[in-house]
Amino acid sequence: MVTRRRVLVGTLATTGAGLITGAGLLPVLRTATAQAADDAGPAVAPAPFTVKLPPLPVLTPYSTEGGQDAYRITVKEVSREILPGVQTKVLTYDGHFPGPVLRARSGRPVSIRHRNTLQMPMAVHLHGASVSPENDGAPMDTVAPGTARTYTYPNQQPNATLWFHDHAHHMEAEHVYRGLSAAYILTDDTERALPLPSGKYEIPIALRDARFDENGQLVYVMDDFRGRTTLLANGRPSPYLEVAARKYRFRLLNTSNLRFFKLRLADGGQFVQIGSDGGLLERPFTTDTVSLSPAERADVVIDFSRYPVGTKIVLETTMGGGAPGQVGNVLRFDVVRTAPDPSRVPDVLRTLPPLDALPKPAVERSIVFSMDEDGRTEPRGLIDGLQWDPDRIDQSVTFGTSEIWTVTNANKLIPHNFHMHLVQFRVLERGGVPVGPAEAGLKDTVQLLPGETVKLHATFDAYRGTYVYHCHLLDHSAMGMMANFRVR
Ligand code: C2O
Ligand code: CU
Ligand code: CU
């Protein structure tokens, strides 16, 4: 571990910065390490739309007895085909790249026994879940190489598109980048009663970027937001998906460390967003874009019945760079047949308390995120001016109360986002004004573009204990942009 830390700290020498504007992510600062990374050679840029979008493999429990689903996962390094015809070394949950999907039901606990066969400690965190501190996969609460640990998830929360990923401090960014993330879809009776597209018409899609060397191996350089130019959907570069001319439900997960996606159909076509991080929205809304910072999720329904069979429609991202010939191409939908469609999107999907009826906050706090952006060689990630200290409690919260947190990104150039363990919160406002429908539901991660301020409402009535909040641009949290709150 000591050796590993030294290696990683050695790679901290970049000032990853990007100016997000309406036009996209503009590279700004440049440092020696970023330059060295650029000199390592161009990313391999496969031609887009030559491989199929694979489904995420669904995990099967080894036992469903005693009212719970029990799983076993071996965390291991394997080689898998990402770029066509090339074997790439990846870190995996049970050998799967992309990471698999676990399907769970509210009210039915899940336990997962993870055996760590890596040379490094790891920790598994179920992002967006309400779990006890011992099961949260906290950064210092790691599973040593050669050992195993069982995490238990009560699933006492409504439907949500969750995901689990590595969280071993200082290594989480590289571990997640190398493959340690998986989807965890929690459904409930409310959701199952809705006539939404389901079965093979409900498809989770994990989006991310990556940088490959000339041998097709993953290159990890801390904060290398400009080098990771190959876009992957379910672990393949700009794949295509054959669809029927009917409605599909796509659960989009941004599993990138640093990349913001701003997704649209290339023809400008509209679709319907029905959910976000913490599950279904109260009401669906029609849009032509979905914007996802790292760790955010969007649940959308696209109706392909408006396209004649034979149409091919690209899902593109209009933010950030890409490899030449691949810029912006996330995936392509090929409409290849017709199909009956009994599904529909109801006007009301769930009920949530109106913002003005949320429990009165006991405390209001202000939190400031920042990162050194002066070009120094080892920039720090800071929350309220401090790097993460596992032994310091930054915020003390009283169990059973609600709070308002006002979080500001003090940077001029660098985007961040805010994620808090344990709770799903409501976003009250951004920059003093109410947020749009995409952020109106339950959220666990919220974007913070340079200079932005968001105001959140959270209720801490599930567990006592210490949890973290951090920037989910994981390279930033690995640089210290993380803090602790304790519920007591
Ligand atoms: Cu995806 Cu600490 O979280
Ligand atoms: Cu989390
Ligand atoms: Cu950040």
Pairing relationship of beta strands 279-287 and 271-276 according to DSSP bridges: antiparallel
For 61-92, b/e burial (b = at least 16 CB within 10 A) is: beeeeeebbbbbbebeebebebbeeeebebbb
Specify the pLDDT at position 45: 66
Pairing relationship of beta strands 110-116 and 202-210 according to DSSP bridges: unpaired
Residue 353 burial (10 A CB sphere; 0-12, 13-18, 19+): exposed
Specify the pLDDT at position 46: 78
Q: Would the CB of 481 count as within 6 Å of ligand 1?
A: no
Class of domain 355-487: mainly beta
Q: Would the CB of 297 count as within 6 Å of ligand 1?
A: no
254 alpha carbon to ligand 3 midpoint, in Å? Answer: 15
The C-alpha atoms of residue 389 and residue 392 are separated, in whole angstroms, by 5
Q: Would the CB of 470 count as within 6 Å of ligand 1?
A: yes
Q: Fill in the DSSP letter of residue 54.
A: P
Full 3-state SS string of 223-256: CCCCCCCEEEECCEECCEEEEEECEEEEEEEECC
The reply to whether 50-192 and 199-337 are identical in fold is yes
CATH superfamily of 199-337: Cupredoxins -  blue copper proteins (2.60.40.420)
User: What residue owns the CA closest to ligand 1's atom 3?
Assistant: 127
472 alpha carbon to ligand 3 midpoint, in Å? Answer: 6
Specify the pLDDT at position 319: 85
Amino acid at 451: G
CB atoms inside a 10 Å sphere around CB 357:
7
Specify the pLDDT at position 44: 58
Q: CA dist 289 to 265, 272, 285, 298, Å?
A: 8, 10, 11, 11
In ligand 1, which atom is closest to the CA atom of 127?
Answer: 1
54 alpha carbon to ligand 1 midpoint, in Å? Answer: 25
User: What residue owns the CA closest to ligand 1's atom 2?
Assistant: 421
Specify the pLDDT at position 327: 73
Query: What does the DSSP assignment read for 123-166?
Result: -EEEET----GGGS--TTS-B-TT-EEEEEE---S--EEEEEEE
Class of domain 50-192: mainly beta
User: What residue owns the CA closest to ligand 1's atom 1?
Assistant: 127
Domain residue ranges of the chain, discontinuous segments joined by +: 50-192, 199-337, 355-487
125 alpha carbon to ligand 2 midpoint, in Å? Answer: 6
Q: Would the CB of 421 count as within 6 Å of ligand 1?
A: yes
52 touches 240 (CB < 8 A): yes
89 alpha carbon to ligand 1 midpoint, in Å? Answer: 24
| H-helix or E-strand spanning residue 43 | none
Residue 361 burial (10 A CB sphere; 0-12, 13-18, 19+): middle
Which ligand places an atom closest to the C-alpha of 422? 2
Each residue's pLDDT, cut to its tens digit, for the chain (488 residues) gives: 333 333 333 232 233 333 333 323 333 333 334 444 444 444 556 789 999 999 999 999 999 999 999 999 999 999 999 999 999 999 999 999 999 999 999 999 999 999 999 999 999 999 999 999 999 999 999 999 999 999 999 999 999 999 999 999 999 999 999 999 999 999 999 999 999 999 999 999 999 999 999 999 999 999 998 899 999 999 999 999 999 999 999 999 999 999 999 999 999 999 999 999 999 999 999 999 999 999 999 999 999 999 999 999 999 999 877 766 667 999 999 999 999 999 999 999 999 999 999 999 999 999 999 999 998 888 999 999 999 999 999 999 999 999 999 999 999 999 999 999 999 999 999 999 999 999 999 999 999 999 999 999 999 999 999 999 999 999 999 999 999 999 99
471 alpha carbon to ligand 3 midpoint, in Å? Answer: 5
Q: Would the CB of 127 count as within 6 Å of ligand 1?
A: yes
In ligand 1, which atom is closest to the CA atom of 468?
Answer: 2
pTM of the complete model beyond 0.85: yes
Pairing relationship of beta strands 110-116 and 69-81 according to DSSP bridges: parallel
